[in-house]
Amino acid sequence: MTVLVVAALLKVALFIGLAFGVAAYATLAERKIAGWIQNRYGPNRVGPWGLLQPMADGIKLFFKEELLPTGANPFLFKLAPALVTGSALLAVAVIPLGDALTVAGKKIPLVVADMPVGILYLMAVSSLGVYGILLGGWSSNNKYSLLGGLRSAAQVVSYELTMVLAMATVLLFSGTMSTRGIALAQEGLWNVFRFPVGTVAFFLFWIASFAETNRLPFDLVECEPELVGGYHTEYSSMRFALFFLGEYVAMFVQASMLTTLFLGGHTLFGLERIFGNPVLNVLLGAAIFLAKTFFFLFVFIWVRWTLPRVRWDQLMALGWKVLLPLAMVTILAGGGGVIWGIY
């Protein structure tokens, strides 16, 4: 019992540290990669290669003044950033980082909460983040923020159905809703290679995850040229930083979900058990998982600095007229494939 409690506490500390660390360095990576794409260096003054830049940013944001706009609803205004970051951090609980460690005769899987309804939980808490954005936009008493919030609502209804259907296709293949179970079920064949259903579902989920994290080309919620930052126009100091942090933690969660659902989590065609030592194998599995996740994070950033923003109605048209019908066909085909034993 003690072992389990200590292990759970250690895992919570590890995962929160990992989420914050990845989020902090994703901001640096964002600026670095933006620089490289634009033939610049990116931040390189704070520490070697600018590696201490996130700390400098954090200190700066801590010491900024916290502003409260006139006419804003103080309670909701303060609640909104906490909701965004809080929901993103809650979703970290179901990331299956690696295989199970055996400590003192107990099997301890490298996931904070190995729930049988992990995917449902993930959808529930990651959708809560949208409420933070809506509330932030509405309570700021600023028309541009309100427009950002409205767009956020429009965006939710147009991509989330697609996302859930793509997830459901994976659930058909694996027969479980536990994220760890889904990762383990792909040891033989990754879902992305279950051609064509798994591949299509993968790309649908990928596109929807850009909308879920409010990243370009679907960042209508922020849209700095026309909405001056959208929902976080009126935010300053750490409240703004919480929105920012929430966005990057959500990116990490989405990237790791793509890895878990479609790219086999910590598995790599049996290569993850190459060492004789089980502890080393678990570490290798975690490294494989993080490598895949960082690839997706890189693509998030790469796409942001390549593609222009789509219009509001274009996103709706893409969501309702293209992605949703495709997702429906995909889940039907996947279901048929499972019934007739093709997959």
Partner 1 sequence: MSGYDQVPEAARPFLGPTPSGKPVPVKVLRKDRLDWKEKVALIEIFKGMGFTLREMFRPRFTIQFPEEPFPRHPSVKGRPVLAKNPDGSIRCVSCGLCEFVCPARAITIDPGETSDPIQREPRDFQIDMLRCILCGMCEEACPEEAILMSDELLMATDARPKALHHLEDLLVPVEKLQERIDYTKRMYRKWNRPQS
Binding positions for partner 1, rule: CB under 8 A: 33, 36-41, 302-303, 305-307
Q: Which is nearer to partner 1, 44 or 141 (CB)?
A: 44
Q: Please, what is the end-to-end C-alpha distance for the chain in angstroms?
A: 40
- Determine the Cα–Cα distance for residues 248 and 160; give it in Å rounded to an integer: 19
The nearer residue to partner 1, 38 or 102, going by C-beta atoms, is 38
C-alpha 94/C-alpha 291 separation (Å) is 18
Task: Tell me the three state secondary structure of residue 114.
Answer: coil
Supply the minimum distance, in Å, between the C-beta of residue 30 and partner 1: 14
Query: Distance between CA atoms of 295 and 120, rounded to whole angstroms?
Result: 25
Nearest CA to 233 out of 63, 28, 77 is that of 77
CA-only gyration radius of the chain, Å: 21
To the nearest whole angstrom, how small is the minimum distance from the Cβ of residue 306 to partner 1?
A: 4
For residue 88, the minimal CB distance to partner 1 (Å) is 26
User: What backbone phi and psi angles, to 5 degrees, belong to 102?
Assistant: -105, 110
Contact 190, 263 (CB under 8 A): yes
Q: Phi and psi at residue 101, in whole multiples of 5°? A: -95, 145
Name the minimum Å distance from CB 41 to partner 1.
Answer: 5
Closest to partner 1 by CB, 175 vs 325, is: 325
Compute the least distance from the CB of residue 107 to partner 1, in Å. 42
Give the span between the Cα atoms of 112 and 251, in whole angstroms.
19
For the four alpha carbons of 314, 167, 249 and 183, in that order, the dihedral sign comes to: negative
Q: Which is nearer to partner 1, 61 or 303 (CB)?
A: 303
In the complex, what is the shortest distance from the CB of residue 317 to partner 1, in angstroms, rounded to a whole number? 12
Task: Name which of 121 and 205 has its Cβ closer to partner 1.
Answer: 205
* Least distance (Å) between residue 40 CB and partner 1: 5
Closest CA to 136 of 51, 235, 204, 268: 235
Phi, psi values for residue 103, rounded to 5°:
-120, 125
What's the closest the beta carbon of residue 123 comes to partner 1, in angstroms?
27
Residues 160 and 137: their CA atoms lie apart, in Å, by: 20
Nearer to partner 1, 200 or 249 (CB): 200
Query: Dihedral of CA 328/333/336/342: which sign?
Result: negative
Residue carrying structure tokens 């409240």: 239
Which of 12, 324 has the CB closer to partner 1? Answer: 324
Q: Which of 34/76 has CB closer to partner 1?
A: 34
